[in-house]
């Protein structure tokens, strides 16, 4: 069997910025003194005149990014998810979100898979924070291919975008023919008994879970939901009607993330059993990323258990 290629989406972010920088002189990249970790160092080397290190001052970086965007620039403001969404929340809300400016926030090191950096840096609340800002688009790509396409889609979209990337190398699931569109989910596997709606690195786990369920005679549909906001209402409503049970899977708190968004939508449209796989109401801890994912239930086996529980709730 051929070895599966793995790439961290933060690496894809860094290399795609360099490619875009060569194509579009409007692109400016900012970083909060973390360019080696966020992988924006490549852009700094290639286009030093269009790179700004704001220092350890994320709030100020967002304000400067907002100002630059008013001059026609497309600004990528980069930092760890914890700092980009948490420390700079007021500036993102008031300086970028409120005037609906064309700033793209590149948030790396999201979720539990930050690993040994521990609870202070493992941001599992960022989607919830960004979802609360009116007009904010949230993209959480699953692999290298989707990351590159999501970044290009963000450049083409006028307005603020929160792009979420990880530290851990994850399998490349898609080839160049994969179609990405903001606001659209993608059905990766058809099924009739339950639908698994996954985002980010949990997409691979969802596909594995579907195979495990198949071995037990359960037909699981798998939907990749890279756009958390705006949600693809049509694909979710159809899945709820056709399978009657939903499981969401995300590397984020079960509070306020994909699971919350899906439950909110379906409770108002097609009331359906929804089980959420994600970080429970708790903080992370230091440890190897893959072991933490298992410890916190962010794995195919837990998706299988939740799928069975959702099916049991069907009327």
Q: Which of 58, 125, 146, 205 is catalytic?
A: 58
- Cis before 230? omega within 30: yes
Contact between 80 and 37 under an 8 Å Cβ cutoff? The reply is: yes
Lookup result for tokens 């903001």: 182
Q: What six digits make up the tokens of 66?
A: 């907002």
Sign of CA dihedral 246, 250, 254, 257: negative
The conformation of residue 285, written as its DSSP 8-state character, comes to -
Do 39 and 15 meet the contact criterion of CB atoms below 8 Å apart? yes
Contacts 24+ apart (CB under 8 A), 132-136: 132/256, 133/92, 133/93, 133/97, 133/160, 134/97, 135/97, 135/100, 135/159, 135/160, 136/97, 136/160, 136/161, 136/162, 136/229
Kindly give, in sequence order, each residue whose CB lies less than 8 Å from that of residue 51, ignoring residues fewer than 6 positions away: 28, 29, 30, 31, 40, 43, 44
Beta strands in 51-193 (DSSP E): 51-53, 74-80, 103-108, 137-139, 161-164, 169-171, 186-189
Q: Give yes or no: 116 in active site.
A: no
Residues involved in catalysis: 58
């Amino acid at each position: 069997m051929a070895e599966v290629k793995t790439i961290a989406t933060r690496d894809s972010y860094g290399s795609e910025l360099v490619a875009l920088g060569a194509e579009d002189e409007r692109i400016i990249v900012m970083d909060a003194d973390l360019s080696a970790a966020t992988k924006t160092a490549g852009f700094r080397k290639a286009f030093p005149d269009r790179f700004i290190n704001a220092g350890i001052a994320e709030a100020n970086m967002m304000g400067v990014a907002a100002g630059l965007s008013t001059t026609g620039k497309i600004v990528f403001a980069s930092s760890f998810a914890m700092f980009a969404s948490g420390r700079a929340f007021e500036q993102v809300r008031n300086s970028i979100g409120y005037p609906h400016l064309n700033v793209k926030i590149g948030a790396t090191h999201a979720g539990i898979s930050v690993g040994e950096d521990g609870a202070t840096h493992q941001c599992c609340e960022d989607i919830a924070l960004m979802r609360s800002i009116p007009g904010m688009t949230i993209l959480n790509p699953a692999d290298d291919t989707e990351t590159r396409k999501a970044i290009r889609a963000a450049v083409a979209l006028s307005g603020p975008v929160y792009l979420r990337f990880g530290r851990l190398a994850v399998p490349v699931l898609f080839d160049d023919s994969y179609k990405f569109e903001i606001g659209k989910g993608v059905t990766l596997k058809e099924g009739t008994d339950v639908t698994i709606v996954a985002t980010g690195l949990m997409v691979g786990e969802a596909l594995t879970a579907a195979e495990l369920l198949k071995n037990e005679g359960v037909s699981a549909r798998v939907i990749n939901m890279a756009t958390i906001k705006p949600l693809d209402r049509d694909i979710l409503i159809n899945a709820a009607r056709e399978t009657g049970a939903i499981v969401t899977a995300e590397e984020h708190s079960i509070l306020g993330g994909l699971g919350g968004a899906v439950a909110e939508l379906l409770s108002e449209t097609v009331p359906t059993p929804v089980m959420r796989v994600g970080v429970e109401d708790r903080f992370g801890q230091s440890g190897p990323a893959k072991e933490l994912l298992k410890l916190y239930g962010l794995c195919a086996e837990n998706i299988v258990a939740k799928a069975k529980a959702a099916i049991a709730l069907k009327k």
